[in-house]
Amino acid sequence: MNGRKLAAFALSGVMAVGLTACGGNGEPNESPAGGSGGEAYLVGICQLAPHDALDAATRGFKAALVEAFGEDGVKFDEQNASGDSANCATIVNGFVSNGVDLILANATPALQAAQAGTNTIPVLGTSVTEYGVALGIDDFDGLVGTNISGTSDLAPLDEQAGIIKELFPDAKTVGLLYCSAEPNSQYQVDTVKASLEELGYTCEYYAFSDSNDLATVCQSAADASDVIYVPTDNTVANNTEIVNNICQPAGVPVVAGEEGIMGGCGVATLSISYYDLGVATGKMAAKILTGESKVEEMPIEYAPEFTKEYNPTIAEALGITIPDDYVAYEG
């Protein structure tokens, strides 16, 4: 245990990790709860791409650690891979060389890069849907058992299928639009497809390899589908304008796996708060850094609450009536 870890370990019995100083909007207040008297922890953050969901998770993560240790007690090496999985590997290797105390891997490709890059530095994932799929673990039971743990953004997929049934009961065909390079997207569309078929829909996969062929594949989906479903797919999240520019003029509604995608091109979603997910991950990180918990003994944590949301702008443009129990998106 190095000097900064010893200094902060003394705090572990008295510090409150929770964000009790948060304001009403969920963002952190300026005054942190406390910090260590020694050298600051160094935390590396590898975020796959700049989009609303991942950005919110990173903000929440940092806020939780600043709340725990103070502005001077923790420092962040925050880097963005700009949507390129290969960049994640380069970033993680840099963190390993610099001897960071902990790595946040924000999104599945970042987590996979961290898994390949180190088996000693604690790694926490966030914005990752299914850890068993992401890490290649068969019969995953919720505990990775290595230097990796984290939080999942998985919303109940059968309930996401239920949103399509609730809003579009007369639809016949659902197009499943996703990036084939993202294993958690494949997992989601497979699961949603099974639920939708049980509800009587005919489903077709529309997989694109990267952003370069998204428009072509999306056009094919719009031409052949009554409704399109998009999972928590990072490539779509970075290119919602492409999807919206095709689907909205065609009159084809998009149901999305998360709020940020819905805000750009969708009509509805069953979503979580990615900021709160980041906060939960930051609380886990604080426990690891102080020695209160061991990463190999920490099960994956899941979002406790889900919200039915709708995009009033797109709903109005498509003439879709939304039930009263949906919350209007204000992003």
For 112-154, what is each residue's pLDDT tens digit?
999 999 999 999 999 999 999 999 999 999 999 999 999 999 9
The answer on 46 and 126 residing in a single domain is: yes
Q: Residue 193 — pLDDT band, cuts 50, 70, 90?
A: very high
The answer on 313 and 229 residing in a single domain is: yes
The answer on 134 and 65 residing in a single domain is: yes
Enclosing domain of residue 53? 3-153+273-299
DSSP symbol at 296: G
pLDDT for the residue 19 = 36
- For residue 271, is pLDDT > 50? yes
Q: Residue 63 — pLDDT band, cuts 50, 70, 90?
A: very high
pLDDT for the residue 162 = 97
The answer on 140 and 18 residing in a single domain is: yes
- d(CA 38, CA 2) in angstroms, rounded, equals 10
* Residue bearing the bigger pLDDT, 177 or 17: 177
Averaged pLDDT score across all residues of the chain: 90
Q: Residue 331 — pLDDT band, cuts 50, 70, 90?
A: confident
Nearest Cα neighbor of 80 from 111, 110, 125 is 110
Q: Residue 220 — pLDDT band, cuts 50, 70, 90?
A: very high
- For residue 252, is pLDDT > 60? yes
Amino acid identity of residue 66, one-letter, is V
The answer on 144 and 10 residing in a single domain is: yes
The answer on 35 and 148 residing in a single domain is: yes
The answer on 125 and 10 residing in a single domain is: yes
Q: For residue 145, what is the domain's CATH number?
A: 3.40.50.2300
The answer on 13 and 145 residing in a single domain is: yes
Q: Are 160 and 194 in contact (CB under 8 A)?
A: no
pLDDT for the residue 20 = 34
- For residue 304, is pLDDT > 60? yes
Domain count, the chain: 2
Mean pLDDT score, 154-160:
94
- d(CA 249, CA 193) in angstroms, rounded, equals 25
288 is written with which tokens?
């690891």
The answer on 110 and 236 residing in a single domain is: no
Does residue 17 sit in helix, strand or coil?
A: coil
* Residue bearing the bigger pLDDT, 314 or 27: 314
The answer on 317 and 202 residing in a single domain is: yes
Q: Are 323 and 304 in contact (CB under 8 A)?
A: no
The answer on 214 and 128 residing in a single domain is: no
Residues 6+ apart with CB under 8 A from 239: 211, 214
The answer on 171 and 80 residing in a single domain is: no
Residue 14: count other Cβ atoms within 10 Å of its Cβ.
7
